[in-house]
Amino acid sequence: MALAEVVSLLARRTASNRQHVAALARLWSGEASLQELVEASALSRRGVEELIRTAGEDVVVSSGAGASARWALVPSARDEYAAVLGGTTRPQPDPELVLSLREARARCPKPNTDLDHVAATAKTAVARAAWIARRFETTGLRVLFVGDHDLTSLALARLCPQAEIAVVDVSEPLVEFLAAELHALRPVPSADGLAASFRVRHADLRQRFPVDLEGWADVFVADPPYTPEGVALFCARGAQGLRDLAHGRGLLAYGYGEDQPALGLAVQKAVLGLDCLVEELIPDFNRYHGAQAIGGASDWYVLRFAPSAAKRVGRAVSAAPRAIYTHGRQSVESNADGGAVDSRGVDLRGADSSALFRALLWEDGEQLSFLVDNNHPDLRTADSQARLVADVAGKWNVRFRKSVPDSASAIVEAAAVVEPNARGLALSRPHGKVKNVLREARILAKEGLTKNEARAWVAEILAATQGWGADLGESLAGDVPRAALRALLQGVEEGAG
């Protein structure tokens, strides 16, 4: 029986197999000609013929010959194919889902206008999830959210529990919030074993993309900064996340004012410049709280990439612009030179609040200095300063110089810790996989420990941090959310004795 090959074909085309499923359903219902299969599925004749070849001896000519041939499933295969077709899902939104999204929004971190955060309505988040459920077969579907201040991932997790979800965002508070909410919806492992996994990662997309999510997804969702630079970068990063560039899909929210066709054209040119075509466009699909400059609405684009897109995507992410936003000191119009270095250190003023900790995590050296805003969240209170000191302890000794060189700025000085220790080793390996970094740190902390004993200990530590989602051990240490890294390093310290 060739069912395994058919299942493999459907899995390879998870984001584009609904026509194949429709053709199989038509065959299961009774014999059909090629024309009838095309009409029933909207699959091309070539696609139908490929499906029949893949099915092998499971699909045979039941009557006629040549152009008049009619095809049917053999009787012995009907039950197995019924099980495959029965596994397809088209869930419908629960009326309570909008209410639960509104409640979640009331709990989530406030929008950051410097990151162009304008919240979509709860109805829009649910509408997006429902659209995904109608368009794709969601069992096993991997959906990557390239930023998710709209909380669409929560709507999809509720509506399609068998879809896998990953979220990448630059906002540490938002990443922490989404991890807690997703874990509450689908604990790892789930009690019934049915709920699919989730992943949350931190990344400033202008600088990097989480390595363990490259080539992971079937579909990406993005509501990016509404500049040509921002839209192109978020789409390019989303494309990095697709495991099959030619058959995956991108879902993009973008809008412009009725008197700004030049801006809309510039953005569409930027997207098409990735060798990406607009497969479908639904006007005014997304609605927002605010965003009056675009009428409080944006369109829903369905994107598909040509095979030639890989090179263009690679070039786009390797030359990612620093200024991609419409507001703040990282906006396109600000001509900001974030990350510039002068005699006072690396200038992080106006950067996202996570930039200071991430710089301390990713950078090495004997002495580093950073110029930040005087009211930076990590410097605002004695408690927040103590938290940053604790989070980088073992790698850096940190000193704060408030209101220097002016009342709006501060300098953070970091001196490398001389004596090696387990915590410092872990913090000094941001490019290493979490499981490997923890193993090396454990071996350093406990003399005489074997690698197998260290691996067993790492498994226990990762099991204790399942609230941060699946496969955290496969992530690079530098991509782990700050609070998750804090919990992992606490495990290193507790196991150091």
Domain boundaries, given as residue ranges, for the chain:
3-86, 96-318, 337-350+364-416, 422-494
Token pair for residue 225?
Answer: 């900064």
Residue 190 or residue 323, greater confidence: 323
Least confident of 151-155, 217-221, 316-320: 316-320
Over residues 82-91, mean pLDDT:
72
Burial class (CB in 10 A: 0-12, 13-18, 19+), 493: middle
- Beta-strand relationship, 345-347 and 367-373: parallel
pLDDT of residue 358 exceeding 50, the answer is yes
CA 405 to chain centre: 38
pLDDT of residue 194 exceeding 50, the answer is no
Q: How does DSSP classify residue 111?
A: P
- Name the amino acid, one letter, at 139: T
Over residues 413-423, mean pLDDT:
90
Q: What percent of the chain has pLDDT over 90?
A: 59
Strand order through the sheet with 164-169: 198-202, 164-169, 142-146, 219-222, 249-254, 297-305, 276-287
Over residues 113-142, mean pLDDT:
87
Q: Which pLDDT score is estimated for 324?
A: 65
Over residues 359-385, mean pLDDT:
95
> b vs e for 228-245, b when ≥16 Cβ sit within 10 Å of the residue's Cβ?
bbbbbbbbbbbbbbbbeb
Over residues 376-396, mean pLDDT:
96
Q: Which pLDDT score is estimated for 466?
A: 82
Token pair for residue 129?
Answer: 């999830």
Confidence of residue 84 (pLDDT cuts 50, 70, 90): confident
Q: What percent of the chain has pLDDT over 70?
A: 90
pLDDT of residue 377 exceeding 60, the answer is yes
CA 238 to chain centre: 8
Q: Count CB-CB contacts under 10 A for residue 376.
A: 23
Confidence of residue 283 (pLDDT cuts 50, 70, 90): very high
* Alpha helices, DSSP H, located in 92-201: 96-107, 122-135, 152-159, 172-185
Least confident of 78-87, 327-336, 421-430: 327-336
Q: Which pLDDT score is estimated for 68?
A: 84
Q: State pLDDT tens for residues 46-80.
A: 999 999 999 888 888 888 888 788 988 899 888 88
Q: Count CB-CB contacts under 10 A for residue 65.
A: 8
Token pair for residue 344?
Answer: 């006072």
Residue 410 or residue 197, greater confidence: 410
pLDDT of residue 341 exceeding 90, the answer is no
Mean pLDDT over the full length of the chain = 88
d(CA 311, CA 275): 9
Q: Which pLDDT score is estimated for 423?
A: 92
Q: Which pLDDT score is estimated for 197?
A: 86
CATH code matching the domain that covers 3-86, chosen among 3.40.50.2020, 3.40.50.300, 1.10.10.10, 2.60.40.1180: 1.10.10.10
Q: Which pLDDT score is estimated for 13?
A: 83
pLDDT of residue 9 exceeding 90, the answer is no
pLDDT of residue 146 exceeding 90, the answer is yes
Over residues 278-303, mean pLDDT:
90
> b vs e for 414-432, b when ≥16 Cβ sit within 10 Å of the residue's Cβ?
beebeeebbbbbbbbbbeb
Over residues 462-471, mean pLDDT:
87
pLDDT of residue 458 exceeding 60, the answer is yes
Residue 123 or residue 62, greater confidence: 123
Helix (H) or strand (E) holding 314: helix 309-318
CATH code matching the domain that covers 96-318, chosen among 3.30.499.10, 2.40.50.100, 3.40.50.620, 3.40.50.150: 3.40.50.150
Residue 181 or residue 190, greater confidence: 181
| 3-86 shares its CATH topology with 96-318 | no
Residue 366 or residue 492, greater confidence: 366
Query: Which stretch, 15-19, 189-193, 383-387, 439-443, has highest mean pLDDT?
Result: 383-387
Assess contact for 174 and 154: CB atoms under 8 A.
no
Residue 207 or residue 89, greater confidence: 207
d(CA 37, CA 26): 7
Over residues 414-442, mean pLDDT:
93
Q: Which pLDDT score is estimated for 16?
A: 79
